[in-house]
Structure 1
């Protein structure tokens, strides 16, 4: 009896120590996150004004804003999302509905997992070798493709998982009515998994919106306002990388503002994704 009580006390002690350690580590993470957000708000909000949204990035010591970088980031992310959603949804659907547990399907899943954890700078170097070096110039198209490669594995994995969660009865009922499998997938399964697929797309957008390394090798930067995707294009991550290392006060101020804009956009997209994923299923 005494030995049993001693074992129970030891387990309770170890459990309390483990739970306390978890709370301690979580507290450190929250303190670090709060410090980062506080510094962004204090230094970023102070630099917000109308010029940020109406003027292009300035020369050192001159008046300017982030209009060209904001527009460039939106164009690059939009191109990347169009490509990666198309590829990711189709690839995830094939893995969930057609590949099964085949050897080829397992290989594709393994390669997708490898690509999911690949450092983005390697993807930037790969796209640079394929689309920048042969054409002797940086371009927005190369940047958009690099971002698409970064985001595609996220959407592929999410699409496969949410389609596998759909009841087998949905497939059987559609096929029993005489509908071909592709029609069942498009009209029934995609609709049933729509919220999960949208969540994956939003999370992929949140990931690529702050990527810097791939863009340094592909789109680079442009001090002037430009909508030409065949040329180098301004973007917020590259502006932050350049301006934050400068000794010019106006550039440093704009770097903090750009960081705040990216953080707010990523936070907003994440909140939307959480709200969509938590949406109750319709009967």
Structure 2
């Protein structure tokens, strides 16, 4: 039985080094470097803040700077300048993210902690301010009587005005965007419409309120022979003002969604002999309905918290008004403003302040629910793909 022997002319194979093997993580900072750097930064922030005078702001600033510089220096020593630069900018981005969260968390915490007691008070959501006087608020402060009054009229007013504004603005915005995408040919008229929509997006809300009030004042002056009698201040006037703010948002969001629809779908429909209008309503809009519905919901969330145009157009009320075409109406933003600026009992303003914070909490919940509804609608009506 023969054995294989190495030829004397063959080059001997190099022997593998017995030293430590290289890995993909060689030359990098250890995973525990970030928490260790953060712990050291917290210690430095505590020491510096105690020496210079304790404030939460000073502690946060010193800790952030110490963490940024310390973590970047550690990366420079262990991994080199390129990794240190990447660590520096990555840490800076995370610090900016947490800095942006500070106002949001602070607002939510303040509103929830201060407004929750009023919101949990019996009758706050099902009573109005028609029977509340300064005597009741003084009794609440002096003798601990139950908090009187609620936001029922403001909730109903906000709902009616927002629904009316949606009914006005959605058809106009949807049809305008359809014309811009499907029927216009990029001429001067199209560019003019697009420019005016962009201008409307940035107009102050008080201008929209003055515009709606001016339109209704002109209408009643014409209908009553030059005597309006202040009848233009009502819910439908506020709905017109809010629709002026909603229309450009609906137009821009719908236009972008319609442009995303592939032209191949339109061409396939035309090839089957289907008319253009039917292609738009049976093919294009169903394909883009997810983004369209989401944009409409976000537009509603944008106007539900407006205060200035409502003050000009709907006025102030203390009881429920179900008629959009007669009488003043109250909304949640105006209710908050009035309770803070004009308390029911100026000498005992705490009950009014509590009602304002409770209404603010309800308004935030409404806006959050609308944004959540926009996400659910976008996910529910999104076109199904083969991967699902």
Give TM-score, length-normalised by structure 2: 0.67
Higher gyration radius (CA): 2
Deviation at 1:94, TM superposition (A): 0.9
Deviation at 1:92, TM superposition (A): 0.9
Q: Which whole-Å deviations, capped at 9, do the CAs of 1:146-203 have from their partners, x for residues lacking one?
A: 1111111111111111111111121112222222111111111111111111001100
Equivalences for residues 52-63 of structure 1 within 5 A: 52-57=124-129, 58-62=132-136, 63=148
- Cα 1:173–1:65 change in 2 (3 A) is same
Equivalences for residues 201-240 of structure 1 within 5 A: 201-229=296-324, 230-240=326-336
On the 8 A contact 1:132/1:139 being kept in 2, the answer is no
- Cα 1:61–1:259 change in 2 (3 A) is farther
- Alignment of 1:273 with 2:374, yes or no, is yes
Deviation at 1:107, TM superposition (A): 1.3
Deviation at 1:16, TM superposition (A): 4.7
- Alignment of 1:29 with 2:100, yes or no, is yes
Other-structure match for 2:162: 77
Other-structure match for 1:182: 277
Secondary structure in 2 matching 1:54: coil
Deviation at 1:207, TM superposition (A): 0.5
> Which sits farther off after the overlay, 143-152 or 247-256?
247-256
On the 8 A contact 1:195/1:277 being kept in 2, the answer is yes
- Alignment of 1:195 with 2:290, yes or no, is yes
- Alignment of 1:172 with 2:172, yes or no, is no
Give TM-score, length-normalised by structure 1: 0.90
On the 8 A contact 1:158/1:200 being kept in 2, the answer is yes
- Rounded to whole Å, the distance in 1 between the matches of 2:359 and 2:279 is 45
Secondary structure in 1 matching 2:315: coil
Other-structure match for 2:207: 122
Q: Which whole-Å deviations, capped at 9, do the CAs of 1:36-72 have from their partners, x for residues lacking one?
A: 0001111111102331122112333532111111001
Aligned residues: 275
Secondary structure in 1 matching 2:134: coil
- Rounded to whole Å, the distance in 2 between the matches of 1:124 and 1:84 is 15
On the 8 A contact 1:243/1:252 being kept in 2, the answer is yes
Q: Which has the higher contact order (CA 8 A, sep 6+)?
A: 1
Secondary structure in 2 matching 1:244: helix
